[in-house]
Amino acid sequence: MENPNGLPSMSMTEYKTKRDSCRQKIASKYDILGFISSGTYGRVYKAKSKNKNDGKEYAIKKFKPDKEGEAATYVGISQSACREIALCRELHHENIVGLQEVLLEDKSIHMVFEYAEHDLLQIIGFHSHPERKFMSEYTIKSFLWQLLNGVAYLHANWVMHRDLKPANILVTANGVVKVGDLGLARLFYKPLQPLFNGDKVVVTIWYRAPELLLGSRHYTKAIDIWAIGCIFAELITLRPIFKGEEAKVENKKTVPFQKNQLQKIFDILGLPTKERWPTIDQQPEYPNLSSFRSTPNVLRSMYQSWQIKSEQGCNLLAAMLEYDPLKRITAEEALNHPYFQEDPKPGLE
């Protein structure tokens, strides 16, 4: 049977069989060395290229196929996977994890990334052991500067990460920081839909900025800087600075008021006022602040009890943990902060 163009026609089944036979299989290109981690998106594996001219190790992120109904009908590639693929293909920077290629096999998307041996969560956990020491200021400063450098690149290209936390900050054996997991990242320059319409909850609770906790629907790249401030403090103390308990989402249409997490923030930074944050009364959850008692800002006195004594370090941390997102320091400004001009200057170990 021929089609109108005079070419042999084939059934959809024949077409799919031929198409799939032309695709390269994961096993033909990579040896799977082991399992790294898993999440709601799928699983990540450590692999090694079979190409003798390459021979490098990679991280292969296998997404679960999107499916609907009890019969598990496959409906396509998830929005998160599409977003991450689109962004990673365009982003090229030393401090952003590099995408090698994308492969489709068995209805699952596989993203092949450059491999990093560690992440900040593992490193913090390692140093948290009672018999081990705190991280050196040189190491902390190096990690922080590289993290800011990667995020400054994202922001310069109109990308918000929206899920910065220690587990998503990768570190190679050579000490190079790689910002990873862009599954929640979004373009903030003329987005196709308002940011709030897509993901009702962004950023893991301990690293979530106050404007998000107060229900802001028009947040900015400043939410990433707040998260970096939380990570900075955690690198110094080896524990989360604002370790609250998350109020669980009961249905997808409403986001619960995160009173406990806000209390953890207010205990250290004090209760925000209109003097400190002039537009705070425009936040949807602002009326709920009346249930909190007024407390002083004790960040500086807390910082003085930590092992890093640099006043400029405290100034930078305070600038990152500024309540008002309009006053919060930017990634580019932070890179040029006096803290990084002091000894020990940041570098790679």
User: Among all chains, which residue has been given the structure tokens 């943990």?
Assistant: 321
pLDDT exceeds 70 at position 22 = no
Q: With cut-offs at 50, 70 and 90, classify the pLDDT of residue 256.
A: confident
- Higher model confidence: residue 320 or residue 6? 320
Helix pair 311-320, 222-237: axis angle to 10 deg: 140
Indicate the range of 34-43, 274-283, 289-298 predicted with least confidence. 34-43
Cα separations in angstroms, 131 against 126, 127, 134, 233:
10, 9, 10, 21
Whether 66 sits among the annotated catalytic residues: the reply is: no
pLDDT of residue 226: 99
- Higher model confidence: residue 5 or residue 152? 152
The model carries a pTM of: 0.88
> What's the CA gap between 338 and 122, in Å, rounded?
29
217-229 mean pLDDT: 95
- Residue 275: count of CB within 10 angstroms of its CB: 7
Quick one: how far is CA 312 from the chain centroid?
Answer: 26
pLDDT of residue 32: 93
Mode of pairing for the β-strands spanning 118-119 and 177-179: unpaired
pLDDT tens-digit readout, 139-197: 999 999 999 999 999 999 999 999 999 999 999 999 999 999 998 999 887 554 555 55
pLDDT of residue 349: 47
Angle, vertex CA 217, rays to CA 248 and CA 299, nearest 5: 70
7-24 mean pLDDT: 58
pLDDT tens-digit readout, 60-70: 999 887 655 44
Indicate the range of 7-21, 75-89, 142-156, 246-260 predicted with least confidence. 7-21
315-331 mean pLDDT: 98
209-219 mean pLDDT: 93
pLDDT exceeds 70 at position 8 = no
314 Cβ contact list (under 8 Å, min separation 6):
299, 300, 303, 304
pLDDT exceeds 70 at position 202 = no
> What's the CA gap between 169 and 180, in Å, rounded?
6
198 Cβ contact list (under 8 Å, min separation 6):
79, 186
252-270 mean pLDDT: 89
Mean pLDDT, the chain, rounded, equals: 87
pLDDT exceeds 50 at position 71 = no
Q: With cut-offs at 50, 70 and 90, classify the pLDDT of residue 14.
A: low
pLDDT of residue 218: 85
305-332 mean pLDDT: 96
pLDDT tens-digit readout, 72-111: 455 567 777 888 999 999 999 999 999 999 998 877 889 9
42-49 sheet: strands from edge to edge: 30-39, 42-49, 57-63, 108-114, 99-105
- Higher model confidence: residue 345 or residue 279? 279
- Topology match between the domains 25-114 and 118-341: no
Cα separations in angstroms, 134 against 188, 308, 345:
37, 10, 18
Whether the ω angle into residue 344 lies within 30 degrees of 0, i.e. cis, is yes
Cβ 61 vs Cβ 41: under 8 Å: yes
Reported CATH class of domain 25-114: alpha beta
Amino acid at site 242? F
- Name the β-bridge partners of 2: 8
Q: With cut-offs at 50, 70 and 90, classify the pLDDT of residue 3.
A: low
Which DSSP category does 96 fall into? B
CATH 3.40.50.970 matches 118-341: no
Angle, vertex CA 219, rays to CA 92 and CA 258, nearest 5: 115
Percent of the chain with pLDDT over 70: 85
Residue 210: which of 303, 313, 306, 327 has the closest Cα? Answer: 327
Residue 64: which of 109, 23, 18, 98 has the closest Cα? Answer: 109
Helix pair 222-237, 137-156: axis angle to 10 deg: 170
Given 20, 54, 66, 163, the catalytic residue: 163
pLDDT of residue 190: 59
pLDDT of residue 12: 63
pLDDT exceeds 70 at position 7 = no
**Would you list the domain boundaries of the chain?**
25-114, 118-341
278 Cβ contact list (under 8 Å, min separation 6):
324
Residue 151: which of 226, 52, 207 has the closest Cα? Answer: 226
pLDDT exceeds 60 at position 199 = no
Q: With cut-offs at 50, 70 and 90, classify the pLDDT of residue 307.
A: confident
